[in-house]
Amino acid sequence: MKHPLAFGLAIAISSMAMPALTHAAKTAKTPVTRTDTANPFLAPSPLPLHYPQFDRIRDTDFAPAFNRGMAEQLKEVAAIANQKAKPTFANTIVALEKSGDVLRRAQTVFGSLVGADTNAARDKLDTEYSPKFAAHYDAISLNPKLFARIEALYHKREKLGLDAQGVRLVEKYYQDFVRAGAKLSDTDKVRLKAINAQMATLGTQFNQNVLAERNELSVVVDSSAELAGLPDEQIAAARKAAEDRKLEGKYVIALQNTTIQPSLTYLSNRALREKIFKASISRGSRGGKYDNTGIVSQVVKLRAEKANLLGYPTYAAYALEDQTAKTPEAVNAMLGKLAPPAVANARREADAMQAVIDQDQKAAKQPTFKLEPWDWAYYAEKVRQAKYNFDEAQLKPYLELENVQKNGVFYAANQLYGLTFKERKDLPVYEPDVRVFDVFDADGKQLAIFISDMYARPSKRGGAWMNSYIDQSALSGYLPVVANHLNIPKPPEGQPTLLSWDEVTTMFHEFGHALHGMFSDVKYPYFSGTSVPRDFVEYPSQVNEMWADWPSVLANYAKHYQTGAAMPKELLDKVLASSKFNQGFTTTEYLGAAMLDQNWHQLAPAQVPDAANVMAFEAAALKKDGVDFYAVPPRYRTPYFSHIMGGYAAGYYAYIWSEVLDADSVEWFKQNGGLTRKNGDHFRKTLLSQGGSADAMKLFHDYTGRDPWIEPLLRRRGLDSTKSDDGAAPSDSKSPTAPKSGT
């Protein structure tokens, strides 16, 4: 949930954005002396929809804007808190909603750029200002006079003549201030402020270490012969990455955020696979300046102490209270019931791969070897090819980036919601590869501006995400400006950008978040766009993935980049037939990470291990939960698990919790005619446009007319009582419980 005084701002973004240390070629812009009137953050941008003035922004603008913005907001808050007039919704809650404009503008852009295009100057600012921002928001949230006004309104909220959204806003402000420590003693408030400042500093350091070490540990390869099996476009990208580092004649395999690296699917060189994997899992725990084990220990202990101060037994209990899950017990129950059938499936998948290894080694008259984590992706692809007679490389010529975006992602949005898109070249961007689109509603009126940032670069954090530069609200009169960020390797100049199927579905997924932001139609900034519980926010974006392989959408974009020929139906049929393939691995690696997250955040302060025992605690936690299958490591290991050092602390379970709703909603669409304007308009009206203005599960009920069903998820993941992909019966379909409001 957004901070009550930082609506969608970079105070949240910065803590989640995994900011990176810059590479040698990326330097801060030359400092420029600027007058206050020249600082682009001191007034709303004059560009369309208040789009950021990237061409005018200098790194030297941020600190003055931060300082002035914080000072101005504190004055505004003091005026609200100290006024003699009795508290009203207008003079207290609405006034708070309107406060902090300068700070909001500066933090939003800064937080976005730290994630998408950092440099040394921005990293320094992030380190310097993270604790200052924490102290600033503490000064507001812990202001006793301000809280007294909010509390007075809360106790008579039903008698203020407000509509439902107004009543909810009063309730959310009250709850957020209480959860921020407003009811603590003065002594405890002092300690809480110190904890928040320390956590802000440590979180920034953790995130900077992650990307700095990711860049440092990129694997250098001496010859193309060692890259046998890697697709040509990836070899070209590796060559370009080496050239960028002045390593002529060599190749660089850049690491991604996840434990298992994409290149392991293709590389036939087993020694190189092992080298890449071991580089990946060593991140953050190999000693030296980027070691994160000490930071993990300190942050987890501080979070546990903060939870205790606020009256909760653990940080997980604190974090989950305002989510749809509500309690750690509910999360533990779902994850615990999913884990046994998932691991059982993974073990069967491993047996099938071991059989292929034994067969191949026997045919080559070589001794066999035990399947290891660095072998899994490579031999899974062999099993897939044998079972379904296709490999991922066959798809890529039909999945060219421009076609996927314009004729796939945008086309589906047009068919479902009537949206149209027009690229514009006149608005400034922070990187030449970034593209900007006007988004028009079905009636021809402008709905939003969409920023598309698809390519990986050393200055950009890993993964994929959406962020909002401008939030919609009737109070401000603003329309949304939202962005999607992916990390697709950029091919050399003149080469096509050919995507994997995972990259295609990721594009649809992130655009689902963008739609959630663009369709926002709420009164107050607090509720705008994706301002919903963490375990609900992934749901609409996961639903949007369904259109990636919807027949009419796929036929519109899956065309050969050279000939224009449509993807053969038999190839598509094989893709769909293999949809449950490798789900044991996929579910187990995810559950390993999600359960690790819960284990860390369900500790009391005295139970938190020191730095020397962080990795031992991780191993013991995985074993305790039954997800310590040697061949399937967790998707993220603790020292580079940036999600839980940022906004998903005790919340990584949210992806599969949301997937219950997602899988059920996919069934709803199919049962009601699929890709139609009627269905799209209904989804938009009842859910996507509502943001956080109503209880999340009520929105789901308004959309479907019922509580969620668990069975569609179990079928999708191969965990239902029917035969799984390999012919075995995985589990009882009634074991996990679907999320319900208030449970």
Q: What is the pLDDT of residues 64-102, one digit of tens each?
A: 999 999 999 999 999 999 999 999 999 999 999 999 999
CB 704 within 8 A of CB 664: yes
Pull the structure tokens for residue 411.
């086309």
Q: Evaluate if residue 724 carries a pLDDT over 80.
A: no
Dihedrals phi, psi of 485, to nearest 5 degrees = -130, 130
CB 662 within 8 A of CB 288: no
Q: Evaluate if residue 190 carries a pLDDT over 90.
A: yes
**Average pLDDT estimate for 620-633:** 98
How does DSSP classify residue 364?
A: T
Pull the structure tokens for residue 739.
């999320």
CB atoms within 10 A of CB 156: 10
Distance CA 148, CA 177 (A): 10
**Average pLDDT estimate for 127-156:** 97
Q: What is the pLDDT of residue 21?
A: 24
Where in the chain do CATH 3.40.390.10 domains reside?
396-532
Q: Evaluate if residue 45 carries a pLDDT over 70.
A: yes
Share of the chain above pLDDT 70, in %: 92
**Average pLDDT estimate for 614-620:** 98
Confidence of residue 709 (pLDDT cuts 50, 70, 90): confident
Distance CA 456, CA 252 (A): 14
Confidence of residue 46 (pLDDT cuts 50, 70, 90): very high
Q: Kindly provide the b/e burial profile for residues 598-614, where b requires at least 16 CB atoms within 10 angstroms of the residue's own CB.
A: bbbbbbebeebbeeeeb
**Average pLDDT estimate for 516-522:** 98
Distance CA 394, CA 584 (A): 24
Distance CA 381, CA 376 (A): 9
Closest by Cα among 313, 320, 319, 181 to 603: 313
Q: Evaluate if residue 317 carries a pLDDT over 50.
A: yes
Annotated catalytic residues are 510
More confident residue, 248 or 3: 248
CB 254 within 8 A of CB 241: yes
Q: What is the CATH number of domain 10-209?
A: 1.10.1370.40
Distance CA 109, CA 565 (A): 42
Confidence of residue 738 (pLDDT cuts 50, 70, 90): very low
How does DSSP classify residue 249?
A: T
Query: What is the end-to-end Cα distance of the chain in Å, rounded?
Result: 19
**Least reliable range by pLDDT among 338-347, 387-396, 450-459:** 387-396
Confidence of residue 577 (pLDDT cuts 50, 70, 90): confident
CB atoms within 10 A of CB 33: 7
Q: Kindly provide the b/e burial profile for residues 37-74, where b requires at least 16 CB atoms within 10 angstroms of the residue's own CB.
A: eebbbbeebebebbbbbbeebbbbbbbbbbebbbebbb
Place of tokens 């006149």: 426
Share of the chain above pLDDT 90, in %: 83
Q: Evaluate if residue 588 carries a pLDDT over 90.
A: yes
Q: What is the pLDDT of residue 714?
A: 84
Q: What is the pLDDT of residue 35?
A: 59
Distance CA 640, CA 417 (A): 38
| DSSP secondary structure letters along 78-145 | HHHHH-SSPP-IIIIIIHHHH--HHHHHHHHHHHHHHHHS--HHHHHHHHHHHHHHHHHHHHHHT-HH
Cβ neighbours of residue 325 closer than 8 Å, sequence gap 6 or more = 331, 535, 653, 657, 739
Distance CA 678, CA 313 (A): 47
Confidence of residue 23 (pLDDT cuts 50, 70, 90): very low
pLDDT digits (tens, 9 = 90+) for 391-419: 878 899 999 999 999 999 999 999 999 99
Cβ neighbours of residue 723 closer than 8 Å, sequence gap 6 or more = 729
Where in the chain do CATH 1.10.1370.10 domains reside?
283-390+578-675+709-743
**Average pLDDT estimate for 118-124:** 95
Q: Evaluate if residue 301 carries a pLDDT over 50.
A: yes
Distance CA 123, CA 126 (A): 5
Distance CA 14, CA 130 (A): 8
Closest by Cα among 714, 707, 706 to 736: 714
Q: Kindly provide the b/e burial profile for residues 388-407, where b requires at least 16 CB atoms within 10 angstroms of the residue's own CB.
A: bebbbbebbbbbbbebbbeb
Q: What is the pLDDT of residue 37?
A: 66
CB 7 within 8 A of CB 526: yes
Q: What is the pLDDT of residue 716?
A: 85
Best mean pLDDT range from 29-33, 386-390, 623-627: 623-627
**Average pLDDT estimate for 605-624:** 98
Closest by Cα among 482, 484, 446, 486 to 463: 486
CB 510 within 8 A of CB 502: no
Distance CA 650, CA 654 (A): 9
**Average pLDDT estimate for 109-127:** 96
CATH of 283-390+578-675+709-743, one of 3.40.50.720, 3.30.930.10, 1.10.1370.10, 3.40.228.10: 1.10.1370.10
Confidence of residue 2 (pLDDT cuts 50, 70, 90): very low
- 396-532: what fold? Collagenase (Catalytic Domain) (3.40.390)
| DSSP secondary structure letters along 147-209 | HHHHHHHHHTGGGS---HHHHHHHHHHHHHHHHTTTTS-HHHHHHHHHHHHHHHHHHHHHHHH
Q: What is the pLDDT of residue 413?
A: 98
Distance CA 203, CA 223 (A): 39
The CA dihedral of 420, 426, 427, 431, to the nearest 10 degrees, is: 100
Q: What is the pLDDT of residue 742?
A: 30
Q: What is the mean pLDDT of the chain?
A: 91
How does DSSP classify residue 407?
A: I
pLDDT digits (tens, 9 = 90+) for 267-278: 999 999 999 999
Q: What is the pLDDT of residue 632?
A: 98
Pull the structure tokens for residue 515.
């739609």
Q: What is the pLDDT of residue 1?
A: 32
Instruction: Sheet containing 435-440: give its strands across.
Output: 420-424, 435-440, 446-455, 481-488, 465-470
Pull the structure tokens for residue 484.
């999607």
Confidence of residue 743 (pLDDT cuts 50, 70, 90): very low
Where in the chain do CATH 1.10.1370.40 domains reside?
10-209
Cα angle 597-600-604, degrees, rounded to a multiple of 5: 145
